[in-house]
Structure 1
């Protein structure tokens, strides 16, 4: 086996290849050959390291912004110039734009700006230096590696550690920047495309050069480098093309199957890509250092999550399942740990066949127990089954209520990274579609805060919370009230109707046609097909709900909340893409009002939850 491995690499195998160079050209030609942007033996320093510095600079910028906002003293927070600076940062983090020609929207201004800077860097480093090809002749050779191919290859290699670490659940980038791992996926995707584009530009100059030289077939037949390169770029192409959001049929069911197939195969493709890329680099200069860095970072991330799963939480936990409505399933896991509202856990159910190999994220809909001598806290999740694993669990729960299965836990992740919602004067929670359960834990946390906070004689100083929920589940208020009532009874607190208002928009039936799935609800909501159909009605239970048949006007609700003069407003939202976009743009508009000193809130913070 060792002999088979040896054939893939030059001998003797070293960590770094030698930088020793002998130039047999004229003095003038040698001087040209070792130019700053042309010298092959320093190409890793000229192109790979600046690429690393680009990523580090972006991470450092986001880190400074995050920790400055988080650690700023209260006196500084009250300064008008500081509030305007914070609002300017939040504006570019929230604001999105619609691209009507493509029938889609952009990422936030901040994300787009980082992508533009990255694209400008790679274009400048690729097309700026000259020449693209050596001025070789049939009798004169400056080298067999075209400068264009050399520099793009090193830049692509330098992207590798960041490409691999960005999507991991526990990674240092998320810790430093305060950006949860699921939000870093967008950068993982774009770094992948940048690396793929650089790999293509790295590949074709070699083909052109050897076709000109007349030995392309010979190189392919005798050089391992060429076909390991091809073997690396094929799975890389598969990963990039398969990640395109529009490569799917119009059927939601087919789209889900397509995603599940990609999810099941992308780890295998990624391993093939990294292995052949490693062999392709063949310890040239410092190339293997980037694989070492990648391995260390990924291993640390993987071990952290696995150690927490098996040593902190163990393998003895069981998850129980019960249908609380026709459309919602409750998952309960007794556990002795803590978490924050809005965070999520990854659950791996061990008795569901192939599904036992994958962990699935669920937003926590409970808060830790406050009683020291009480039973364990309970992780509670309210899930809208959509087929696949959750559909199978819902089917089992219907046949056997409160059945349980062994479960492995990994978390918590995500959540609000600055301060809790109840620390603001006014909080607004917008939860729609499958994301409506996000509000449960936030309401519980606010109830605890209100219970601990003595009532003030001064009107308007007590925290106010507004909850807006859009759901097609007509039994929503029943299980929602049951969850909050059970929580209040366990902790000996009562409902504060003067401080918390919950408005539920029922979106189940419109005209002669009913909405038959959560996916369809989300799709219709994104297309604006759900309209408000009447005035609100109130329930008379222990927890008063205001019920409206229709779809909430998200922009108007956010605007109304942020126009309150002189208050700080914390907003949390979870739902379809259209809901997130409307909330983010309305919050961005509020930042502009702060910057222009218009009447309204003095501070507006937004947390957009991706997982449901």
Structure 2
């Protein structure tokens, strides 16, 4: 029973002394000990990242061992474990379902979804499992509000790291920034969830005492709390795909402004609250470290050998080709962010590098093939149409290269490459790299077969022209190895183009097999799983429907591997998308 002597009364409610508040809280979730919930959140995130680091080390070690091991060598138990893991991580929502929600939420594959779901369950249980949500009026802050507060604060440093282009977590886990964006957005959602719980519970606490109006007038924590909530709501709502895609450049600048506003107000909200300033210090530190790394790298690659210049040209298919002489090196499958000072100096966008780097740095030229959409790419199209036939070069700043290197694919026995439309810009350098590694005696590779499937949709006069985008790379690859080792199938999905035939007098007829109609991606993957032996890799880049079919079929093949009905003993998936 509470002591109601020594304090004061307000409208029939007893206001205890500070000593009485302390005595009551000693046995009822003390305010000072509520910081432990933040530690629980840190432990969950840190352990998750540590497991990801261990997995990356294991996969890197396995890839190196595979290069040294004779073809056909395998570990049946390890293959089964991989199959279970991939069956639980690769599947995606069918397009028939995802198309109804994609404007509001772009669902990742099952693996990240399960991990984020685990985070949701973890935070929900730690907040709500103990039903002691509120103290009696005037006896201190809501325990529910404190739990959610510290869980939200613990997420801040990780939220920032997951959103950076260059980060320690990305380096240690081997995950590129575009893959970590899923967790940046997911952790941001959990942070918003906990912030809403904190706001509502603290508002209920205030209403049960002297009312929200009095709390607003007398307690600055309420003013700064709601002041921080406003930009946080903007950050989360404006980041939804439907708004982000409608005006990406506007979103990007407003995103930066909202981040600055949020952290500025949040600092005043928590700087006197127990561990509050320490979480802010950690957040500022990781933000500064990542920013310095990225800016330092940008300055280094753009200034050490002079400013980069780009030349734009419109291809017959309507795509824009960009060529940039550079001494910078890159790996197949990587991308860079381009910033054109004469087009949109404050905007930069990522584009896959569509060619392989020359061995001599003095002869290197980056090549990009871009399908104009809206905003930045449309501005490039306009600029190319005005100056593309002239000798004018445009000053461009490079930021990168970023993305997972596809060189680990050399540790597989066979590789299936799937390109949808301009996704070929990502696939073509990988195809050439694998062909070169198969031929080279200096490069370690166990790849014996590479099959490239490219599907596109163009007007009939552009079918051959579209292939010319990457003709030199494909010609070189097939000149290095036999066509049985490196095959190319080109599908024109527009069935109205069936009148198009390869020129019988053109040597290009032997370069690729031309097909009409949409390819059955799932059937192609299934066929390879029953035909190829050993370790098989599938690489996919294309529209959402294309990538979804590839992901779900590779996931289904894992069941065949577990049942022993597949000829291959392992099937790995590397998937890239047009945007994130």
TM-score range for the pair, normalised by the shorter chain length:
0.7 to 0.9
Choose which of 443, 456, 473 in structure 1 pairs with 2:431: 443
Instruction: Return the offset for 1:558.
Output: 1.0
| Contact 2:337/2:351 (8 A) holds in 1 | yes
In structure 2, what is the Cα distance between the partners aligned to 1:235 and 1:24? 38
Match for residue 491 of structure 2? 505
In structure 1, what is the Cα distance between the partners aligned to 2:37 and 2:324? 50
Counting only pairs closer than 5 Å after superposition, residues 263-278 of structure 1 correspond to structure 2 as: 263-278=252-267
Q: Using a 3 Å threshold, how does the CA distance of structure 1 residues 209 and 303 change in structure 2: closer, same or farther?
A: same
Counting only pairs closer than 5 Å after superposition, residues 247-286 of structure 1 correspond to structure 2 as: 247=242, 256-286=245-275
Choose which of 334, 339, 342 in structure 2 pairs with 1:343: 334
Instruction: Return the offset for 1:32.
Output: 5.2
Q: Using a 3 Å threshold, how does the CA distance of structure 1 residues 579 and 470 change in structure 2: closer, same or farther?
A: same
Choose which of 24, 35, 40 in structure 2 pairs with 1:50: 40
In structure 1, what is the Cα distance between the partners aligned to 2:111 and 2:466? 39
In structure 2, what is the Cα distance between the partners aligned to 1:30 and 1:395? 69
Instruction: Return the offset for 1:270.
Output: 1.4
| Contact 1:99/1:106 (8 A) holds in 2 | no
**2:404 matched to 1:415?**
yes
Aligned residues: 541
**Ranges in structure 1 where 5+ consecutive residues have no aligned partner:** 1-21, 249-254, 455-460, 512-532
Instruction: Return the offset for 1:135.
Output: 2.5
In structure 2, what is the Cα distance between the partners aligned to 1:534 and 1:424? 39
In structure 2, what is the Cα distance between the partners aligned to 1:270 and 1:123? 25
In structure 2, what is the Cα distance between the partners aligned to 1:154 and 1:84? 40
Choose which of 545, 564, 570 in structure 2 pairs with 1:597: 564
Instruction: Return the offset for 1:586.
Output: 1.0
The Cα offsets for residues 52-94 of structure 1, whole Å up to 9 and x where unpaired, read as 1111111112221222121133469721111212222222221
Instruction: Return the offset for 1:100.
Output: 6.3
Q: Using a 3 Å threshold, how does the CA distance of structure 1 residues 379 and 328 change in structure 2: closer, same or farther?
A: same
Match for residue 24 of structure 1? 19
Match for residue 463 of structure 1? 448
Counterpart of 1:435 in 2: which secondary structure? helix
Instruction: Return the offset for 1:239.
Output: 1.4
Counting only pairs closer than 5 Å after superposition, residues 182-197 of structure 1 correspond to structure 2 as: 182-197=178-193
Counting only pairs closer than 5 Å after superposition, residues 518-537 of structure 1 correspond to structure 2 as: none
Choose which of 280, 286, 290 in structure 1 pairs with 2:279: 290
Counterpart of 1:552 in 2: which secondary structure? coil
Instruction: Return the offset for 1:222.
Output: 3.1
Match for residue 52 of structure 2? 62
In structure 2, what is the Cα distance between the partners aligned to 1:427 and 1:569? 6
Instruction: Return the offset for 1:510.
Output: 4.8
**Ranges in structure 2 where 5+ consecutive residues have no aligned partner:** 1-16
| Contact 1:347/1:408 (8 A) holds in 2 | yes
**2:233 matched to 1:244?**
no
Instruction: Return the offset for 1:483.
Output: 4.4
Match for residue 90 of structure 1? 86
Choose which of 136, 142, 146 in structure 1 pairs with 2:139: 142
Stretches of 4+ aligned residues off by more than 6 angstroms = 99-102, 486-489, 533-539
In structure 2, what is the Cα distance between the partners aligned to 1:486 and 1:436? 11
Q: Please, what TM-score do these two structures have when normalized by structure 2? A: 0.86
Match for residue 15 of structure 1? none
Match for residue 527 of structure 1? none
Match for residue 324 of structure 1? 315
Instruction: Return the offset for 1:271.
Output: 1.1
Superposed CA RMSD: 2.9
- Of stretches 146-155 and 202-211 in structure 1, the one that deviates more from structure 2 is 202-211
The Cα offsets for residues 134-176 of structure 1, whole Å up to 9 and x where unpaired, read as 124xxxx422x11111111111111111112211111122222
**2:133 matched to 1:132?**
yes
In structure 2, what is the Cα distance between the partners aligned to 1:267 and 1:124? 33
Instruction: Return the offset for 1:575.
Output: 0.8
Instruction: Return the offset for 1:547.
Output: 1.6
Counterpart of 1:410 in 2: which secondary structure? strand
Q: Using a 3 Å threshold, how does the CA distance of structure 1 residues 486 and 121 change in structure 2: closer, same or farther?
A: closer
